[in-house]
């Protein structure tokens, strides 16, 4: 442009720099493209309106501004002396309302796609649409780099004020508006060292962004091409007045009140009492004369750190929050990109994932007052933010709470719930400011009723007061000749099994066995197992399974802990239980004495609350802990339940180890329903042998651990033919394997069974018939019959739908507690805060979970499987889920290891699908495109199979330490070789202020960020004398890769063969690009 046409030029504000950077990196995204539609009614003069617009452009230098970033050390904004405002007039009077609305939507999308050339002024345009004889729509577009919301309405006010004056033949003289460059000059006078000291202190110890709610599954909703939409909640006049009165009375600004409630909601959603959110500030310093009348981009987005301790009272907390905001305002000129560098949060991650906007400027009323004879109706504006969620609070006679969100991240139902939670917190604060933060309710009454009552309506009729053995005896009397148990060719009918169990029960009675007396069971796999189990229960005793593979010390502890006076075993096994005080009853060598007992049922009815068995699980003290299971807990699981069909037509396989609690399902779901129980001949058959047993005996109901389920489906799915109910669990089920099972096993229902031992076998189940309903994970489903589930926060309050909390369970399946451990029992079995009657208890499962919108529950792993690495909270299950979706991976386990003290890192152990041999770099690239860097494992170890415990779960303690792999430990220093590499190194050193740059060092790992990358980009273009797309700087973040790319691009084929980056650099570049485009764009507003 000729110099005589330039009025002035000056630097960009920090926020303008950020907007320029992102606009160059993503020119087609539509980000920062603002559109406003104003409805008008009356006899409108289009020429007068055009003249009014031109007067505004002539008045404000910012409206005649364009931007230059090439060939200059730092980007500048240039003001033209003259610029013509484009105003197109169109006539839609021949279209009906529906056609006009469709045309307006099309106009908006086409306008968005056209965008703006930032090198040409003006960066705005308008279309005047005539809807009817006296109704119009003014559609105005501008780039956000020019104006903020305050300035937008000031420009509109001037346009309509000038229009009114022109129509009346007069002259419009608005208040003087100092130029935007005055603001830039003021910014350059501010002290960055002082700001750095403040922000370093303010953000100290905050190392990771506050996590937001993640939408479960895959959303199919997409409202609008731009992927953004908004939901609004208007507070009624009474509520709004109450909030206004509370704020005024307590000398709290409305901004503090509304922002405080939003911060507290984020705290509840994230489970953290120290949260970080973004807040948009006006950026108009009182010290700058005339700032209220200036037009330009003044706003800034700053991090606001809010600590929300549960025990602090509401009013003092709000007062403290307001004082902190006052201090923050002294440094609200601070560039966000610099604040990011001063913080401890990685530059690759945003400081925050949501922003709060308090809109306190007037809009519609001033426009109506300025323009007589022209009725100004609704003013709509269409905006997009860099964040998946923006909370907007608009005070007035009726407050408006508005959430702008990405439709591919959140559903409208989730956003509606969020608005309700925000409103509830506001009302609670104003109603009782003497409450503590922890006492404030957030979940609405309707949602609480749904979570606590509606989704726990699981009560069903079943023989609640019956004992296990009495229900078996009923079937033995009704169908004595029906087959009860099979082992190979051996069979026992219900009558025979009942008679043999009765003889042994009478024998045990004579030995003193009775209620609450524990009898050890030390037997190998034989029909004697079922005889012994029933006999112990018939004698009113409780059984204790002693696993033959357990160490002797562990078995000895179990016998002493239970004070078991008797152990049932076989002669050849007695030596395995030496050095204990129990009396050994050998069912083979003592068979003659036992056989002389009566085969009639024993007298006495017993009690359903009586102890049925003791089962031991690992304990934190190093010794196993015994869990006490009553009869009722088992019966509620297997009779008239809601997750499967258990009747006399079923054939069950008793396959798992009896020391595993699910063995109770195999045994009693069969024998208490008149069905047939097939005993697996071996404890650990091969997949083929297991399939042969299933086929030979026609098994219809089968339980498999998750690990074995995956292996069978992957390698021997034909062995599962004929199974109608395939129950799997004990670990996370793979979506792909469930889909394969449903596809390939005809007529089979796959049921995900979940539950702790302390709630007897299963707490929740998720039956699946249609794999198309599956999302990214397999839910654990809903509570089984006569069982309750609550997902609570640290204060035992129900968490909202979609929010992760701690899973508690209650109902008839609860164990009594832990044997001889009253303190641990009191800690884990608590009084229910939702009790219908005194004494109702809940068990703290120790798992993380959340409710989905339809009432099903999604599992998020053990509380203690949540690891912290470099300050980040990491759910290992999330990484495992994504890796399991990779086509080359059959199964995966991720663990946090610290094989070298102080070097804690993530390790992924994986099993490849048949024939797949992906490189480690391929898997790392795959994860890097979906997860933050800190969640990408440092090492990947391929295994043939996972080590399993005796119960069939992955034995994490047996996973091998990864071997040192240089490719995974970073590169040593490599000096530049070619002249081009030396040039790039020198440019990097200058931009990054570092002394040494190796050719394989990563630009961002060296502290690079968006602005420094722009300087590097400009310097390299200047050196080469050629254009380079900004996006390539992300693709090639090492000197070596960038030099190879530039050499291949800049030199002709005749001079030198084209040289491209290595495949490793390309992969690293692509993953870096994906991460940066998804996350770095949120580093500025």
Q: What is the rounded CA–CA span in Å between residue 371 and residue 364?
A: 11
- Strand blocks (E) in 407-526: 483-487, 490-493, 518-522
**Closest CA relative to residue 270, chosen from 1051, 873, 904:** 873
Phi then psi dihedrals of residue 941, to 5 deg: -120, 120
pLDDT tens digit sequence for 681-698? 887 777 888 999 999 999
Distances (CA, A) of 820 to 561, 562, 817: 8, 9, 9
The encoded tokens of residue 155 equal 């420009």
Give the per-residue SS3 of 83-107. CCCCEEEEECCCCCHHHHHHHHHHH
pLDDT at res. 1055: 38
- Which is more confident, 51 or 708? 51
pLDDT at res. 1069: 39
Map tokens 């202020």 to a residue.
Answer: 993
pLDDT tens digit sequence for 176-196? 889 999 999 999 999 999 999
Distances (CA, A) of 139 to 39, 65, 134, 853: 9, 21, 16, 38
Beta bridge partners of 867: 874
Q: What is the rounded CA–CA span in Å between residue 1039 and residue 1029?
A: 17
pLDDT at res. 967: 41
- Which is more confident, 747 or 1010? 747
By DSSP bridging, strand 764-768 and strand 749-754 are antiparallel
pLDDT at res. 551: 77
Instruction: Give the whole-number percent of the chain exceeding pLDDT 70.
Output: 89
Model confidence band, residue 699 (pLDDT cutoffs 50, 70, 90): very high
- Strand blocks (E) in 299-420: 300-307, 354-358, 374-382, 389-394, 400-406
- Which is more confident, 833 or 953? 833
Largest Cα–Cα distance in the chain?
123
- pLDDT surpassing 60 at residue 1063: no
- pLDDT surpassing 80 at residue 928: no
- pLDDT surpassing 60 at residue 1074: no
Q: Give how far the C-alpha of residue 539 lies from the chain's centroid of Cα atoms, to the nearest Å.
A: 51
pLDDT tens digit sequence for 778-811? 999 999 999 999 999 988 999 999 999 999 999 9
CA-atom Rg of the chain in angstroms: 36
> Could you tell me which CATH number the domain at 870-968 has?
3.30.300.30
For the chain, what is the mean pLDDT? 87
The encoded tokens of residue 268 equal 């509840």
Map tokens 């560098």 to a residue.
Answer: 341
What DSSP element (H or E) covers 711? helix 706-715
- pLDDT surpassing 80 at residue 201: yes
Tell me the mean pLDDT in the region 813-826.
95
Domain 3-174 fold: Chloramphenicol Acetyltransferase (3.30.559)
3-state DSSP call for residue 158?
A: helix
Instruction: Give the whole-number percent of the chain exceeding pLDDT 90.
Output: 58
> Could you tell me which CATH number the domain at 186-353+388-442 has?
3.30.559.30
pLDDT at res. 964: 41
Q: Specify whether the CB–CB gap between 654 and 679 falls below 8 A.
A: yes
Distances (CA, A) of 816 to 99, 465, 626: 68, 16, 11
pLDDT at res. 969: 34
- Which is more confident, 620 or 112? 112
Tell me the mean pLDDT in the region 941-964.
81
pLDDT tens digit sequence for 242-292? 999 999 999 999 999 999 999 999 999 988 899 999 999 988 988 899 888
3-state DSSP call for residue 114?
A: helix
Q: What is the rounded CA–CA span in Å between residue 277 and residue 259?
A: 10
Contacts of residue 84, Cβ cutoff 8 Å, sequence gap at least 6: 54, 57, 122
Model confidence band, residue 553 (pLDDT cutoffs 50, 70, 90): confident
Model confidence band, residue 544 (pLDDT cutoffs 50, 70, 90): very high
Domain boundaries, the chain: 3-174, 186-353+388-442, 468-779+812-832, 870-968, 979-1082
Q: What is the rounded CA–CA span in Å between residue 635 and residue 632?
A: 5
- pLDDT surpassing 50 at residue 608: yes
> Could you tell me which CATH number the domain at 468-779+812-832 has?
3.40.50.12780
Distances (CA, A) of 866 to 512, 850, 891: 48, 15, 20
DSSP string over 313-344: BHHHHHHHHHHHHHHHHTTTT--HHHHHHHSS
pLDDT at res. 604: 80
Phi then psi dihedrals of residue 628, to 5 deg: -100, 115
By DSSP bridging, strand 124-130 and strand 135-143 are antiparallel
Tell me the mean pLDDT in the region 957-965.
74
pLDDT at res. 957: 81
**Closest CA relative to residue 1082, chosen from 348, 343, 281:** 348
Say whether pTM exceeds 0.75.
yes
Distances (CA, A) of 575 to 131, 180, 557: 97, 93, 16
The encoded tokens of residue 990 equal 């200058």
- pLDDT surpassing 50 at residue 965: no
Tell me the mean pLDDT in the region 311-322.
96
pLDDT tens digit sequence for 225-238? 457 788 999 999 99
Question: Which range among 65-74, 598-607, 870-879 shows the weakest confidence by mean pLDDT?
Answer: 870-879
- pLDDT surpassing 90 at residue 361: no
Map tokens 């991090």 to a residue.
Answer: 303
- Which is more confident, 450 or 1079? 450
The encoded tokens of residue 287 equal 């010290």
Query: What single DSSP character describes residue 289?
Result: T
Model confidence band, residue 366 (pLDDT cutoffs 50, 70, 90): low
Phi then psi dihedrals of residue 279, to 5 deg: -130, 135
Q: What is the rounded CA–CA span in Å between residue 523 and residue 473?
A: 23
DSSP string over 569-600: E-GGGGGGG-S--SEEEETTTTHHHHHTS--S
**Is it true that domain 979-1082 has CATH number 1.10.3720.10?**
no
Model confidence band, residue 1083 (pLDDT cutoffs 50, 70, 90): very low
By DSSP bridging, strand 566-569 and strand 518-522 are parallel
**Closest CA relative to residue 759, chosen from 822, 817, 717:** 817
- pLDDT surpassing 90 at residue 209: no
pLDDT at res. 950: 59
Q: What is the rounded CA–CA span in Å between residue 573 and residue 523?
A: 8
Q: Specify whether the CB–CB gap between 1024 and 1046 falls below 8 A.
A: yes
- pLDDT surpassing 50 at residue 217: no
- pLDDT surpassing 80 at residue 771: no
Question: Which range among 654-658, 1052-1056, 1071-1075 shows the weakest confidence by mean pLDDT?
Answer: 1052-1056
913 C-beta neighbours (distance < 10 Å), count: 14
Q: What is the rounded CA–CA span in Å between residue 295 and residue 182?
A: 11
pLDDT at res. 621: 57
By DSSP bridging, strand 857-862 and strand 903-912 are unpaired
- pLDDT surpassing 50 at residue 376: yes
Task: Identify which of 152-161, 450-459, 612-621, 966-975 has the greatest average pLDDT.
Answer: 450-459
Contacts of residue 141, Cβ cutoff 8 Å, sequence gap at least 6: 33, 34, 35, 36, 111, 124, 125, 126
Distances (CA, A) of 817 to 646, 758, 840: 28, 7, 13
Tell me the mean pLDDT in the region 632-636.
97
Query: What single DSSP character describes residue 784?
Result: P
186-353+388-442 and 979-1082: same fold?
no
- pLDDT surpassing 60 at residue 75: yes
Half-sphere exposure of 727 (CA within 13 A, CB side): 28
- Which is more confident, 1032 or 453? 453
Q: What is the rounded CA–CA span in Å between residue 1068 and residue 1077?
A: 14
Tell me the mean pLDDT in the region 912-936.
80
3-state DSSP call for residue 563?
A: coil
pLDDT at res. 1005: 60
Output the CA torsion sign for 995, 996, 997, 1003: negative
The encoded tokens of residue 826 equal 């009191």
Please tell me the total number of residues recorded for the chain in this structure.
1085
The encoded tokens of residue 33 equal 């493209």
pLDDT at res. 1066: 37
pLDDT at res. 1059: 34
Q: Specify whether the CB–CB gap between 895 and 915 falls below 8 A.
A: no
Question: Which range among 243-252, 465-474, 1014-1023 shows the weakest confidence by mean pLDDT?
Answer: 1014-1023
- Which is more confident, 1025 or 63? 63
Contacts of residue 191, Cβ cutoff 8 Å, sequence gap at least 6: none
Model confidence band, residue 1085 (pLDDT cutoffs 50, 70, 90): very low
pLDDT at res. 198: 95
Model confidence band, residue 1058 (pLDDT cutoffs 50, 70, 90): very low
pLDDT at res. 305: 95
Task: Identify which of 82-91, 205-214, 870-879 has the greatest average pLDDT.
Answer: 82-91
- pLDDT surpassing 50 at residue 1078: no
3-state helix, strand, coil in the chain (%, to 5): 40, 20, 40
């Amino acid at each position: 442009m000729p110099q005589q046409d330039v009025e002035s030029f000056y630097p960009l504000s920090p926020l303008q720099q950020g907007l320029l950077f992102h606009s160059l990196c993503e020119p087609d995204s539509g980000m920062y493209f603002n559109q406003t539609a104003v409805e008008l009614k009356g006899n409108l003069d289009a020429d007068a309106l055009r003249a009014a617009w031109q007067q505004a452009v002539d008045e404000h230098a910012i409206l005649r501004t364009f931007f230059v970033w090439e060939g200059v050390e730092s980007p500048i904004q240039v003001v033209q002396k003259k610029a013509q405002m484009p105003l197109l007039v169109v006539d839609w009077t021949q279209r009906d309302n529906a056609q006009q609305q469709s045309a307006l939507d099309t106009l908006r999308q086409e306008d968005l796609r056209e965008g703006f050339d930032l090198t040409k002024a003006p960066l705005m345009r308008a279309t005047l649409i005539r809807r009817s004889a006296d109704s119009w729509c003014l559609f105005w577009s501008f780039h956000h780099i020019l104006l903020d919301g305050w300035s937008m309405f000031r420009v509109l006010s001037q346009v309509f004020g000038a229009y009114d004056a022109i129509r009346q033949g007069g002259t419009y003289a608005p208040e003087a508006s100092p130029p935007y460059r005055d603001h830039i000059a003021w910014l350059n006078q501010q002290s960055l060292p002082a700001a750095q000291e403040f922000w370093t202190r303010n953000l100290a110890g905050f190392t990771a962004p506050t996590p937001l709610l993640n939408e479960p599954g895959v959303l199919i909703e997409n409202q609008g091409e731009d992927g953004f939409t908004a939901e609004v909640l208007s507070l009624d006049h009474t509520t709004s007045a109450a909030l206004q009165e509370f704020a005024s009375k307590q000398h709290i600004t409305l901004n503090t009140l509304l922002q405080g409630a939003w911060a507290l909601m984020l705290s509840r959603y994230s489970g953290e009492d120290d949260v970080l959110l973004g807040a948009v500030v006006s950026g108009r310093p009182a010290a700058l004369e005339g700032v209220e009348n200036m037009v330009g981009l003044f706003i800034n987005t700053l991090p606001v750190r809010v600590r929300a301790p549960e025990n602090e009272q509401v009013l003092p907390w709000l007062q403290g929050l307001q004082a902190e905001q006052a201090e923050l305002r002294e440094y609200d000129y601070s560039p966000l990109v610099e604040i990011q560098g001063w913080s401890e949060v990685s530059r690759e991650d945003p400081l925050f994932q949501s922003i709060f906007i308090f809109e306190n400027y007037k809009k519609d009323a001033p426009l109506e007052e300025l323009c007589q004879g022209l009725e100004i109706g609704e003013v709509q504006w269409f905006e997009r933010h860099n964040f998946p969620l923006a909370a907007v609070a608009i005070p007035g006679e009726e407050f408006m709470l508005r959430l702008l969100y990405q439709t591919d991240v959140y559903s409208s139902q989730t956003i509606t719930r969020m608005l309700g939670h925000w409103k509830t917190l506001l009302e609670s604060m104003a109603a009782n400011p003497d409450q503590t933060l922890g006492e404030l309710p957030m979940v609405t009454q309707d949602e609480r009723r749904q979570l606590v009552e509606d989704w726990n309506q699981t009560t069903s009729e079943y023989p609640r007061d019956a004992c296990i053995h009495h229900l078996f005896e009923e079937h033995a009397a009704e169908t004595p000749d029906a087959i009860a148990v099979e082992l190979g060719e051996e069979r026992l009918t219900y009558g025979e099994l009942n008679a043999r169990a009765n003889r042994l029960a009478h024998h045990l009675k004579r030995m003193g066995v009775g209620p609450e007396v524990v009898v050890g069971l030390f037997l190998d796999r034989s029909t004697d197992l079922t005889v012994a189990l029933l006999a112990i229960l018939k004698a009113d005793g409780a059984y204790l399974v002693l696993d033959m593979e357990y160490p002797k010390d562990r078995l000895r502890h179990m016998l002493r802990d239970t004070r078991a006076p008797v152990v049932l075993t076989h002669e050849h096994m007695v030596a395995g239980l030496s050095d204990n005080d129990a009396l050994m009853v050998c069912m083979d060598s003592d068979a003659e004495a036992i056989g002389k007992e009566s085969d009639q049922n024993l007298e006495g009815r017993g009690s359903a609350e009586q102890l049925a068995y003791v089962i031991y699980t690992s304990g934190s003290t190093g010794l196993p802990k015994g869990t006490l299971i009553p009869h009722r807990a088992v019966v509620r699981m297997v009779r008239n339940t809601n997750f499967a069909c258990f009747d006399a037509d079923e054939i069950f396989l008793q396959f798992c180890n009896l020391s595993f609690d699910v063995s109770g399902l195999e045994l009693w779901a069969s024998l208490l329903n008149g069905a047939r129980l097939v005993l697996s001949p071996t404890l650990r058959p091969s997949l083929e042998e297991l399939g042969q047993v299933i086929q030979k005996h026609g098994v219809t109901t089968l339980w498999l651990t998750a690990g074995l389920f995956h292996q069978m489906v992957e390698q021997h799915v034909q062995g599962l033919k004929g199974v109608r109910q395939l129950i799997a669990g004990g670990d996370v089920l793979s979506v792909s394997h469930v889909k394969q099972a449903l596809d390939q096993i005809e007529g089979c229902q796959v049921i995900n069974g979940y539950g702790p031992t302390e709630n007897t076998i299963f707490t929740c189940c998720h039956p699946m018939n249609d794999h198309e309903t599956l999302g990214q994970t397999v839910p654990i489903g809903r509570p089984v019959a006569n069982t309750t589930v609550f997902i609570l926060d640290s204060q035992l309050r129900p968490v909202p739908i979609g929010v992760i909390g701690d899973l508690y369970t209650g109902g008839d399946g609860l164990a009594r507690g832990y044997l001889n451990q009253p303190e641990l029992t009191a800690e884990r079995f608590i009084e229910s805060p939702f009790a219908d009657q005194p004494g109702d208890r809940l068990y703290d499962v120790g798992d993380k979970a959340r409710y989905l919108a339809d009432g099903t529950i999604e599992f998020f792993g053990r509380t203690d499987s949540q690891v912290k690495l470099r300050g980040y909270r990491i759910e290992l299950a999330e990484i495992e889920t994504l890796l399991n979706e990779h086509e080359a991976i059959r199964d995966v386990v991720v663990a946090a290891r610290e094989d070298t003290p102080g070097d804690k890192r993530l390790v992924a152990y994986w099993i490849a699908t048949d024939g797949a041999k992906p490189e480690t770099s391929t898997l790392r690239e795959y994860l890097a495109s979906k997860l933050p860097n800190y969640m990408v494992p440092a090492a990947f170890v391929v295994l043939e199979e996972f080590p399993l415990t005796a119960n069939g779960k992955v034995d994490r303690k047996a996973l091998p330490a990864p071997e040192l792999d240089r490719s995974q430990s970073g590169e040593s220093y490599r000096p530049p070789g070619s002249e081009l590499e030396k040039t790039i190194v020198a440019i990097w050193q200058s931009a990054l202020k570092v002394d040494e740059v190796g050719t394989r060092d990563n630009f961002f790992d060296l502290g690079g960020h968006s602005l420094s990358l722009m300087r590097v980009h400009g310097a390299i273009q200047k050196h080469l004398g050629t254009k380079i797309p900004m996006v390539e700087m992300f693709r090639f973040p090492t000197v070596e890769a960038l030099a190879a790319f530039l050499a291949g691009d800049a030199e002709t084929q005749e001079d030198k063969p084209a040289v491209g980056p290595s495949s490793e650099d390309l992969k690293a570049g692509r993953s870096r690009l994906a991460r940066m485009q998804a996350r770095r764009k949120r580093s500025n507003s």
